[in-house]
Amino acid sequence: MEQKKKPYFIESCLPLAVMLLMIYFGNIKNGIKTQPLILLSAVFTFILAQRIGLKWSEVQKEIQRKFGKAIPSILILISVGFVISTWMASGTIPMMIYYGIKMVSPKLLILTAFIVTAIVSMCTGTSWGSVGTMGVAIMGVAIGLGVNLPMVAGAVISGAYFGDKLSPLSDTTNMAPIYAGSELYEHIGHMLYTTVPASVLCIVVYLILGFNPSATSSTQSDIAKTILNTITSAYHLNILLLIPVIIVLGGAIMKFSSLPVMSAASIVAGIEAVLIQGISVKNVINCSLSGFTVDMIAKEGFDSEQVADVVTTLLERGGMSSIMSTTLTVFSAFVFASVLTSGGYLDVILEKMLVVVKSTGALVTSTVASCWITAMVTGSSNMTLLVNGELFAPVYKKMGLAPKNLSRTLEDAGTVVVPLIPWGSAGGYMAATLGIPTLSYAPWAILCYSCSVIAIILAFTGFGIAKADRQEGQADV
């Protein structure tokens, strides 16, 4: 694509700086939605690009190219809402939450706090929901036992972000490969190189420092009891409810296409919701679009009017419409990125970056540092993924590295970092929900910072680094 003029380096950095400032002052300070702010940044960039002679037709072609490449991944993202709602209706997710709570051990409270919140977050795909329900319940047990509360909070947050990082139901787990150009399940598999060592470190620390041999009480918090009692009164729990989970895991292991596998698991869950839970076909179909609500439960003797708010917060979620806000963010991001790309701004930044970044270790370290800076400026994991995905994707390609290396690093230094930032929305939510200041629990949220360190170590050693020895980047649906 010919350009009348080549943009200057400072000029190329200006659109990214403007977008970060708009996100900070617009979203963080004043609560304005991010999507219009991103689009306004795209408008600013297009106006700026008139100096170099950029035409709208060039931008439009780039938008079409990016959208065409991302549509398969976006379809998977939308199907996540379908999965969550039907798994809630069938009782699959509630059953895993139920037995997760049963696992809590007073003597090993710190360790089980990490494991249980990880399970719940993996099942639901939301770190906030896991902390707001299981995290609060575990904190109640910890208060009763006189355990180190910042340590418990750190373990809860580490577990919650373990699931948020690895769950195929998580929005960030789906968005990272979209921005980096990798595929969902290869992205999840590649994250095991950093997440498993970080989790082992968590387990060792929480086991040694958190062991409390004097704790003999098996008393559960009122919140935990409420969740357990509601689930047993609302659902018929049996092993058949694990079939949708087996379908998804089996499909991932067999490397089947993601979209058919997730759709099949949702359909099976919907059938179980009708046959096992007695939910009407109409409600199953409606919840797949608009989300599951407790008034759909049909078990005899269950009264949805009496369900506690903490339980409705845990159970009422999902639906394909719930993903639309995230999808709109992706579309807005691609409009902005298309102006950057077609204007040649990213090419100029790439040229400067390649002068400094000569090795894989230096590249990953630069990515980690940039993600931390972006997260501290915006306080948003989604914006961190977007900005650094677009910025570094061509660099990884130029250096012959597979896109899944970038998508993994985006999560290692983006998704799991935001709860450590006191002024960010995630850090504020965690502190308010658990009643522990961000800087107090941060040292104990081991997974949230150790993933970045491990990512850098792997990059310099070369272990777990995938070369682009075949065509990658298109999500297989």
Give tens-digit pLDDT for 285-310: 999 999 999 999 989 889 988 888 87
Rounded Cα distance between 221 and 218, Å, is 10
216 pLDDT above the threshold of 70: no
Contact 77, 175 (CB under 8 A): yes
Q: What is the pLDDT of residues 27-47, one digit of tens each?
A: 777 888 888 998 999 999 999
What confidence category does residue 106 fall into, taking pLDDT thresholds of 50, 70 and 90? confident
Contact 161, 451 (CB under 8 A): no
pLDDT of the residue at 472 = 44
Rounded Cα distance between 374 and 365, Å, is 14
What confidence category does residue 452 fall into, taking pLDDT thresholds of 50, 70 and 90? very high
- Token pair of 167, please? 């769950």
- Token pair of 440, please? 């107090």
177 pLDDT above the threshold of 80: yes
Rounded Cα distance between 10 and 124, Å, is 43
Rounded Cα distance between 368 and 194, Å, is 13
Rounded Cα distance between 18 and 270, Å, is 46
- Helices 184-210, 149-166: crossing angle, 10 deg rounding: 160
Contact 368, 455 (CB under 8 A): yes
Chain mean position to CA 349:
28
Rounded Cα distance between 35 and 154, Å, is 31
Give percent of the chain with pLDDT exceeding 90. 35
pLDDT of the residue at 471 = 46
Q: Which residue has the tokens 């049963």?
A: 102
- The three-state secondary structure class of 105 is coil
Q: What is the pLDDT of residues 380-411, one digit of tens each?
A: 787 788 888 888 888 899 899 999 999 999 99
What confidence category does residue 476 fall into, taking pLDDT thresholds of 50, 70 and 90? very low
pLDDT of the residue at 201 = 96
Query: Which whole number is the average pLDDT over 366-371?
Result: 91
What confidence category does residue 217 fall into, taking pLDDT thresholds of 50, 70 and 90? low
